[in-house]
Structure 1
């Protein structure tokens, strides 16, 4: 919950007040920090973030229709033109037309009032790259369409469907491979993010972790946490050891002995 106070006199402000009742300082109605990056659709007044163009069912239907009636060529062109566009999830308006809620206040009007939150703002992680699901599905659909066209052309001894089907098949294969590469990049980004979180956890735990620690702190299953730790275990920067009681733990020497680093020169 955000507490609004006037930065001039410290008076508590109610939601919707245009000016401080004590000193008369201007109050911005869109000050809460948690909503500073929220944008609003000018058509339906939706507040939030835009979605990918092809996440709407109507756009997927149009893509399929164009692919069927143009032997896949129109679908490829349509997808290439719209794949990076974002739209409003409610009305479908292009998100480039969105604006910040309450736009029209100047910087001077926003300055006198500050927002204070009772809870610390969570750390914003970098967004993950797209998984390429649209490219893989569309590429697979084109490959199926190409197979049907080539089969029909061979069975009827007609040359044109074979040529067109071959071109569509190559386009579909290229799209599928493109989407597959995007999926691999997303998986790599997820793994890198988990590795960073493990290193931060190791710093807090003085350089010693168990699989159970990682699973509990990062909200992972035991097998998933074990895979991460095994992948990080290189025997040098991260190495595994077993205690006399049979407990497997992972040691981070660079973290555990960080306080001793650089002291060798001073001792000499």
Structure 2
């Protein structure tokens, strides 16, 4: 609420300064007048606009989009990596090759599993292996035929 009030107050101040400038009869093209107008009205207007933008969450939306892009990029890299490793990966392999923390690698792998792009298997020693079934069958794509062909 403070950002909203501060932004509105600064924009109101800037508006009063512009109105005062217009009524002053000062030479609008004089360098001194332009500098004074910039300091007295431009800076408060910029500050007020910034506070209002922050209040409305502009920065959060951009950050959310940036995080979604980062996550999508990681998922794409994991799928490419699965293709190079025969369709089977572990979190340690992903973390090591993509230089991300193991917890991040596990989160990405679990998200892909939740979207049914991978299945989880476990070795006798307890190692979790993510099996990307579609990636393992990519070699079959050359033999694909139409749905109505027998």
TM-score > 0.5 by shorter chain? yes
Report if the CA contact (8 A) 2:112-2:118 is conserved.
yes
User: Alignment partner for residue 72 of structure 1, among 2, 7, 10?
Assistant: 10
8 Å CA contact 2:120, 2:129 repeated in 1: yes
Superposed CA offset, 1:207-228 (max 9, x none): 1100000000000111111111
Residue 125 of structure 2 aligns to a residue in which SS? coil
SS at match of 2:114: coil
Tell me: CA distance 1:210–1:263, structure 2 relative to 1, closer, same or farther (3 Å). Answer: same
1:173 corresponds to which of 48, 55, 64: 55
Partner in structure 1 of residue 122 of structure 2: 242
Please say if 1:233 is aligned against 2:109. no
Could you tell me how far 1:181 is from its partner in structure 2?
0.7
Secondary structure, aligned partner of 2:130: strand
| Structure showing greater relative contact order (alpha-carbon pairs closer than 8 Å, 6 or more residues apart) | 2
Q: TM-score, normalised on structure 2?
A: 0.62
Q: 1:204 to 1:172 in 2, by over 3 A?
A: closer
Give the Cα–Cα distance (whole angstroms) in 1 for the partners of residues 115 and 67 of structure 2. Answer: 24
Provide the aligned length of Structure 1 versus Structure 2.
112
Deviation track 1:136-160 (CA, whole Å, cap 9, x = no partner) reads xx43xxxxxxxxxxxxxxxxxxxxx
How do 1:158-197 and structure 2 match up within 5 A? 173-174=55-56, 177-197=57-77
CA deviations 1:114-167 (Å, max 9, x no partner) are xxxxxxxxxxxxxxxxxxxxx9xx43xxxxxxxxxxxxxxxxxxxxxxxxxxxx
Question: How do residues 246-257 of structure 1 correspond to structure 2 at under 5 angstroms?
Answer: 246-257=126-137
Cα shift at 1:247: 1.4
- Structure 1 length-normalised TM: 0.36
| Unpaired segments ≥5 residues, structure 2 | 1-5, 12-41
Q: What residue in structure 2 maps to residue 99 of structure 1?
A: none
What is the RMSD of the two structures over their aligned residues, measured on CA atoms? 3.1
Q: Which runs of 5+ in 1 are unaligned?
A: 1-66, 81-134, 140-169
